[in-house]
Amino acid sequence: MRSVYVAGLGHGDGLQVVELGLMELLARRAERLGVFRPVAPRGADVRADPAIEVMRARYRPAQVGSGITIEEVEEGFASQTVDVLLDRLVERFAGFEASCDAVLVLGGSTAPGDLAGEPAFDAKLASRLSAPVVIVAGGVGQDADVTSKSLRTGYQVFAEQGCPVLAVIANRVPAGAVVGADLPVPCYVIPENPALSAPTVGQVAEVLRAVQVQGDAVGLQRDVSSVVLGGETLPGFLEHLRSAALVVTPGDRADLLLGAVASDAAGTARPAAVVLSHGVKPSPAVRGVTGRLAPGMPVLSAAADSLTIAAAVAGLSGQLSPDNPRRTEHALGHFEAHVDSEGLAQRLGLGRSSRVTPLMFEQSLVERARAERRHIVLPEGEEDRVLRAAETVLRRGIADLTLLGREDVIRRRAGDHGLDLHGAKIVDPLTSPMRHSFAERYHALREHRGMTLDRARDMVTDVNHFATMMVRTGAVHGMVSGTVHSSAATLLPAFQIVQTVPDISTVSSVYFMCLSDRVLLFGDCAVNADPDVTRLADIAITSARTAERFGIEPRVAMLTYSTGAAGAGADLDKVQEATELVRTRAPELLVEGPMQYDVAVDPRVAAVRLPESGVAGRATVLIFPDQHAGATTCLAVRRSAGAVAVGPILQGLRHPVNDVARGAGVEDIITTIAISAIQAQSVS
């Protein structure tokens, strides 16, 4: 078990972003996670701790708890020494950590009055817990030299207590400031990010106890970067209006409300929300207009006057919360852009677990994709789910993106949801100069099938054909589609244009089946209905390569209804012949068959049925004799074992093209983009 102790050195250190980034690091390498708060905030239940609630929602830790409360400290501090309190904390932590593989200890920011006066409290506790420490100093409103001195002083305090310091982090540092601690450990500098410190419309509504009279729940997650008071004429108001501004206006100024909404609809400035003062709500006639012009823009009604509202908003700062996963992703992306997580893991000596949970697998996909970034095209750029996924992909640095669609529509939809698509390319196939060269290339590829140049010009205006041509010509590395198109509309252009790798003639698919303690590959469950011997061998070889590409050691089981040579029948013969063909074509692969499912995955059954096998009981790649058997087993395992199925993932193409389900959620799209990026890394 490994613990990491996060210690902040004062107010404004932005500990929550660092804590989240370190928890992400642990989640990629440990199965059973714990979060421990040594001293809980005053009057707080650990279940109401905002930092812990974000981690609980995202990582589902095995253990969450605290050592002592501030009230306990205050009751016993007069009669007890600090050492007695520390002993009590160590005792409680010992019982807590026993059921965890890794624990993040949240220190620093919640020490109470008298205890906070003990400068080495965190250092003494970390030393007694034998926990390596990450020290965090805030740079908000401070000179870089002051921040550097804080880090050096903090390092000295912990070093004197014998604590191993993993790294020091200067967080929320003003842009352009140069912080140098000159210490024998890594020093990372995380600049201030206005989007993370900005409050959301939802926070504003909560503090004002405002009533929402227009807009939806998604709009409440918009960031508020500034406040614009609406007290002047409409022309003057529009001159001062900025995107992401909170408009605060007297409730009877319907002209300013209409002006803000019209500006949003026109795209000249996209305010975060409008707050009407004195509890006034717009008339039905006004709401009829605003609701049509910008239905997604939040309009709030608050009882206070405009100046009181503006003052209340000025005192708000952004915070992470479990109901705003967008901001959580943004925080992680910001942390990972400035901190070497892999380097920290190596200093911690935290290797990867031999057991792989669904969460660990999903986290590893992001890590692998980020390591060698690739460019993915998303043909359905006007779809809201795709836009939400695109924002996260860009913020986390998972891939570079091109969105296909009408730019004005994409920008308007992104603005409606407060999405930041900075860094994404937007291409309209109807107006793109690439259309003409793509038509000529497509005509040349399909002329033998009767394709004319005029028809090719029409075909490449289809977003899936255009995207596939981008992949074929090297403009991008891969493609993900399917949220609003059928599988046929996504896959047919890929089969025609991208084509298969040289030594494989079969395009097939696999599902990553994430069980509670491991990840298996199931193939083919979606593309080939009844493959013959050659195709079945292709599927096995390609699936083994896919497993290896994603860090899974390929042990291939060729499945059917009987094990070994005991049975008879055409299906059994097909699997037997395919197994021999795989051994001939890929002698380096560990492959066995025919084999039943339970023999392949259950070591106890394998020990009886095939005791000498190197695959039985340990198979990682399961190849089904036909699509019916594969799809049925996939569904059964998902339902009965609670497995998470990721896929289908296409394989065998020269470049990655993947199809998501039309009901796919944002997380499914993000995962498929990450997988496509990883597939593209192996394409020369």
Given a cut of 80, whether residue 252 has pLDDT beyond it is yes
| Interatomic CA distance for residues 246 and 225, integer angstroms | 8
Over residues 602-632, the pLDDT tens digits come to: 999 999 999 889 999 999 999 999 999 999 9
Q: What is the arithmetic mean of pLDDT over 154-168? A: 90
Domain formed by 2-193, architecture: 3-Layer(aba) Sandwich (3.40)
Handedness of CA 209, 211, 214, 217 (dihedral sign): positive
- Assigned fold of 503-644: Rossmann fold (3.40.50)
Per-residue confidence band for 567, with pLDDT thresholds at 50, 70 and 90: low
Q: What is the mean pLDDT of residues 195-215?
A: 90
In this prediction, residue 197 carries a pLDDT of 84
Please give the CATH topology (third level) of the domain spanning 354-499+653-684.
Rossmann fold (3.40.50)
Q: What is the per-residue pLDDT across 163-184, written as a single tens digit (0 to 9) for each?
A: 899 999 999 888 888 887 788 9
* DSSP code at position 497: I
Element (H, E) at 648: strand 644-651
Q: Is the pLDDT of residue 592 over 80?
A: yes
Q: Residue 477 pLDDT > 90, yes or no?
A: yes
Average pLDDT over residues 488-494: 89
pLDDT in tens, 439-453: 999 999 898 988 899
User: The tokens of 620 are what?
Assistant: 């990682």
Say if residue 76's pLDDT is above 70: no
Count CB atoms within 10 A of the CB of residue 37: 23
More confident residue, 222 or 79: 222
DSSP states of 83-131: HHHHHHHHHHHHHHHTT-SEEEEE-SS---HHHHT-TTHHHHHHHHHT-
Tell me the C-alpha distance between 651 and 49, whole Å.
44
pLDDT of residue 626: 92
Kindly state the percentage of the chain with pLDDT values over 90: 46
Residue ranges of the domains in the chain? 2-193, 201-314, 354-499+653-684, 503-644
Average model confidence (pLDDT) across the chain: 87
Give the model confidence (pLDDT) of 4-17 as tens digits.
999 888 766 778 89
pLDDT score of 110 more than 90: no
DSSP run (H or E) holding 538: helix 533-549
Query: Class of 201-314 per CATH?
Result: alpha beta
- Residue 78 pLDDT > 60: no
Confidence grade of residue 323 (pLDDT, cut at 50, 70, 90):
confident
Question: In whole angstroms, how far apart are CA 619 and each of 181, 346, 539, 591, 640?
Answer: 50, 30, 16, 9, 19
Please tell me if the domain spanning 354-499+653-684 has the same topology as the one spanning 503-644: yes
pLDDT, mean of residues 47-75: 80
> What is the pLDDT confidence band of residue 119, given thresholds at 50, 70 and 90?
very low
Q: In which band, very low, low, confident or very high, does the pLDDT at 91 lie, cut at 50, 70 and 90?
A: confident
More confident residue, 75 or 56: 56
The number of beta carbons lying within 10 Å of the beta carbon of residue 441 is 17
State the maximum Cα–Cα separation within the chain, in Å, rounded to a whole number.
93
- pLDDT of the residue at 116: 42
Lowest mean pLDDT among 119-128, 305-314, 427-436, 610-619: 119-128
Question: Residue 84 — pLDDT band, cuts 50, 70, 90?
Answer: confident
Q: What pLDDT is stored for residue 6 in this prediction?
A: 92
pLDDT-based confidence at residue 420 (cuts at 50, 70, 90): confident
Q: Quick: pLDDT tens for 214-251.
A: 988 888 888 898 999 988 889 999 999 998 899 999 88
How far is the C-alpha of 387 from the C-alpha of 395, rounded, in Å? 12
**pLDDT at residue 418 is higher than 90:** no
